A and B are shown apart, each in its own frame.
Chain A
Amino acid sequence: MADGHVSRRHILLTSLLGGTSLVASAAMARTGIPWVPGTAPYIRGFDGARFFTPAERACVEAMVARLIPSDDLGPGAREAGVADFIDNQLAGSYGRGERWYMKGPFADGLETQGYQDERPPAGLYRAAVAALDEHCRERFDGRVFAQLTEDEQDALLTRIDDEELEFEDVPAAAFFALLQENAMEGFFCDPVHGGNRDMVGWKLIGFPGVRYDYRDYLDHDGERLSIEPVGLMGRPAWNVD
């Protein structure tokens, strides 16, 4: 270990802890199993960080409200906080595409080749929302997307979905696919991430959340199971005021 490098028969978490790793690994070697409680990288969770401008937020809020409407059936994207969720995700490592391979050269690509935009998700949202609102202003007497009627919004989103509407310099179809994906994430994710607020997404479909043990229910035999949902942080009723 003295030379600062590998010692056979020992696990080395080199550079994980920088200069202190040698001390840590020596300690671990004595126990045999390099189990270090609490070393799991913590979840980033919902930290309130924001990416959208007010205009962008209004547009995205309006779009996801059409994808997952609040209707007779119950709460939709608005009540679930889907726009908050997307805003927060775009403000973090996901928005910056930090885990994605973002080296060039960039090309349009085929449908079978997936996301090929030069911009990471946050950049694509920024460009696409600007292009959409610009399109709306021109076509709807100066109104932006959020100011359109629901019918007008639906018609416009349908045209994007059907790939009938294209923007200059922004792949509308790729954006709409990402928006749909993010809306589903925001509506059905664990509430720890800021979406699915009050578990409205899970309650709508009857998903009981992240329960640990379903062995008592294995013989359900096709009967309905009514189980209150639980998230990673429990559920509100468990909290002591």
Chain B
Amino acid sequence: MARKLPPVDVVLVGFGWTGAILAQELTQDGLEVLAIERGGWRDTPSHFPTTVAQDELRWYWRKEMFQTTARETLTFRNNRSQTALPMRRWGSFLPGEGVGGGGVHWNGQTWRFLPSDFLAASHNVERYGPMRPGMTVQDYGVTYEELEPHYDRFEKLCGIAGRAGNLNGEIMEGGNPFEGVRSADYPNPPMHMTFAQHRFEAATKELGLKPFPGPSANMTKPYVNPLGCQLAPCTYCGFCEKYGCGNYSKASAQTTILPVLMRNPNFSLKVHNEVLQVKLDSTGRRATGVVHVDQNGEEYEQPADLVILCAYQLSNTRLMMLSGIGEIYDPATGEGLVGKNYCYQVMSGADVFFDDAYTNEFVGAGALGMCVDEYNGDNFDHSGLGFIGGGYIACWTTHSRPIERRRIPEGTPQWGSAWKKAVADNFLKSTNVGAHGASMAHAANHLDLDPTYTDVYGRPLMRMTFDFTPNDRAMSAFLTERVREIAERMGGREIKLSPREGPYDSMPYQTTHNTGGTIMGASPADSVVNRYLQSWDVPNLFVMGAGVFPQNAGYNPTGTVAALAYWAADAIRSRYIRSPGPLVQA
């Protein structure tokens, strides 16, 4: 029997980026906010100082940075004809665990989506006619213009480095000319580009494209954010994604919010406690709080007026299912919405090998790169192409950690003396051009509860059913050809294409950009949360994170996840607190 605790105003489930943002915002109005995090406390000096952070084996290969699969993982299959089996260790994506969540181990590539990305259904249907059968693409229910101030807030919080491309409607030389109208430039100047980016820049200009610096949460200058938190210049050590930053140089909850939030008497944090369920009253229309369990197996009921899910997309979706909120989507009938529109990211690329030049990619940073955006979203005419969406193409020099990355030319054996020679010859003399493709929603791709496998508490694991769709494949084939055109012009000896072919493989790392499952929209008939990320079914429940994306755009999601968190926090502060209830009438 769960022991009942004194009530709080707001309980946050999970304490990564969105939890920290919500806590910081809602405590400003005097609300008492409690965050419950299943992992442990983590901070820069004690958990990832420079002498500890740069351990490739420990943090990535032994997965110590991530959620412990022994306790909970998910099962996976490509389609409904297969039997899903557990991901016994992480592969294609890497959910975080502990304070700061995945925001501790991200690269820091911090994008805004295009205005048309938020209107992916209406815009594309109007311009190109009906989509392929089975596609379940929807509008977000919120517009770029509405989110713009919130993007701006997050960029200033993080000290994002970049160059504006569209400042108040004026196209700026050297920025991304396709981006939505910005109200302000980035707070910091762009990253310091290296050889590979210079070659990419020259190649894309030759092709008539407009390269620009990738927006980066790696600091390019000493920076004091609006909360007074200080960040230090990035040293380009090449340990960003999959690692904590020991140098206060990568924006995270730890470096941008927690030094202030943890001192706020309205805020408290409970770690090593896992929320098992959102509790509903007898009507099923109101959350009364959450039930959580500590590491000794003791259960507690934490009453709260407002419950906000701030865990990773996969965990938020599963908690909705385990709490019986909404109906789980069934692809056989098309009924149900929770778990619907699971999407990912469609990555492809080309390695470029040089004979006479050293790329020295150990001099790298998570968001050190030059990009082009001509082939993203609806920045190009899709007439006759047979797909919608696109992706940015970039030359990022993120790292050259050698267990993970050893580029070898086409046709090289995978072991033996020929392999060894190829690695030795090419390790310092190669780079990559990558396409970061959108993932459009499809009726066959979804999340639900596994009928067989259970977590450490005996509850069903979540089951993922996913494969790349015909739209994904056509889009990726198109993007990969554009990658080839660029890569071939970079002055290398040869290139090696990595097209996205075959079924989705859950094991090789691709990207931790899982989206959908608790999608947002304009109507309870086709979405789980409304445009303010408020549950249609349970108005005192809000759901943060990329789970609300109806489909994923051709950009990294964190910028949009954070902008949506600020947008929701603003609606809660300005409207919900004064008059609790649905912010949108169904």
Contacts and interface: CB of A to CB of B under 8 A. Distances in A.
B127 interface: no
Interface stretch (A94-102, A125-133, A163-171): A94-102
A6 B403 contact: no
B319 interface: no
Interface majority SS (helix, strand, loop, mixed), chain B: loop
B82 A110 contact: yes
A54 interface: no
Interface string B236-259: 111100000001000000000011
A205 B406 CA distance: 9
B61 A114 contact: no
Q: Which of A73, A114, A161, A207 has the most CB of B within 10 A?
A: A114
Given A11-B41, A16-B295, A112-B503, A99 B194 contact: no
A32 B267 CA distance: 11
A107 B452 CA distance: 12
Given A112-B506, A190-B57, A107 B427 contact: no
B473 interface: no
Contact of A35 (B43, B63, B267, B400): B43
Given A34-B262, A207-B362, A212-B50, A116 B300 contact: no
Interface string A183-211: 11100111011000000011011111011
B62 A101 contact: no
B403 A188 contact: yes
A180 B5 CA distance: 52
A40 B52 contact: yes
B271 A107 contact: no
A114 B506 contact: yes
A215 interface: yes
Nearest to A45: B58
Nearest to A190: B55
Interface stretch (B163-171, B418-426, B531-539, B557-565): B418-426
A232 B91 contact: no
Interface in A69-103: 69, 71, 73, 76, 94, 97-103
A71 B47 contact: no
A220 B195 contact: yes
B523 interface: no
Given A69-B417, A220-B363, A115 B272 contact: no
B235 A7 contact: no
Contact of B263 (A32, A103, A115, A232): A32
B270 A213 contact: no
Interface in B342-397: 354, 356-360, 362-364
A161 B414 contact: yes
Interface string B58-85: 1001111000111011001110001101
Interface in B265-286: 265-273
B8 A8 contact: yes
Contact of B83 (A101, A107, A208, A212): A107
B333 interface: no
Nearest to A3: B3
A139 interface: no
A193 B57 contact: yes
B415 A103 contact: no
A39 interface: yes
A101 B414 contact: no
Contacts of A98: 70
A85 to B, nearest CB: 9
A94 B57 CA distance: 11
Given A9-B268, A11-B268, A205-B402, A103 B453 contact: yes
A141 interface: no
Contacts of A184: 403, 406
Nearest to A16: B272
Contacts of A76: 420
B209 interface: no
Given A38-B46, A112-B503, A218 B56 contact: no
A218 B192 contact: yes
A107 B263 CA distance: 50
Given A14-B272, A73-B417, A100-B88, A207 B402 contact: yes
A66 B415 contact: yes
A210 B364 CA distance: 12
B576 interface: no
A222 interface: yes
A8 B32 contact: yes
A114 B87 contact: yes
Interface in B1-47: 3, 5-6, 8, 32, 34, 40-41, 43, 45-47
B454 interface: yes
A73 B418 CA distance: 10
A154 interface: yes
Nearest to B428: A206
A82 to B, nearest CB: 12
A29 to B, nearest CB: 9
A92 B32 CA distance: 44
Contacts of A32: 262-263
Contacts of A33: 43, 258-259, 262-263
Nearest to A192: B55
B579 interface: no
A218 B268 contact: no
Given A99-B64, A113-B507, 14 more contacts: A12-B269, A12-B270, A13-B272, A14-B294, A16-B272, A40-B49, A97-B88, A103-B453, A103-B454, A205-B427, A210-B239, A214-B237, A214-B363, A222-B356
Interface of B: 3, 5-6, 8, 32, 34, 40-41, 43, 45-52, 54-58, 61-64, 68-70, 72-73, 76-78, 82-83, 85-89, 91, 192, 194-195, 198, 233, 235-239, 247, 258-259, 262-263, 265-273, 294-296, 300, 302, 354, 356-360, 362-364, 400, 402-403, 406, 414-417, 420-421, 423-424, 427-428, 452-454, 503-507
12 contacts: A9-B268, A14-B272, A14-B273, A15-B294, A37-B45, A94-B62, A99-B69, A99-B89, A103-B454, A188-B403, A201-B402, A220-B195
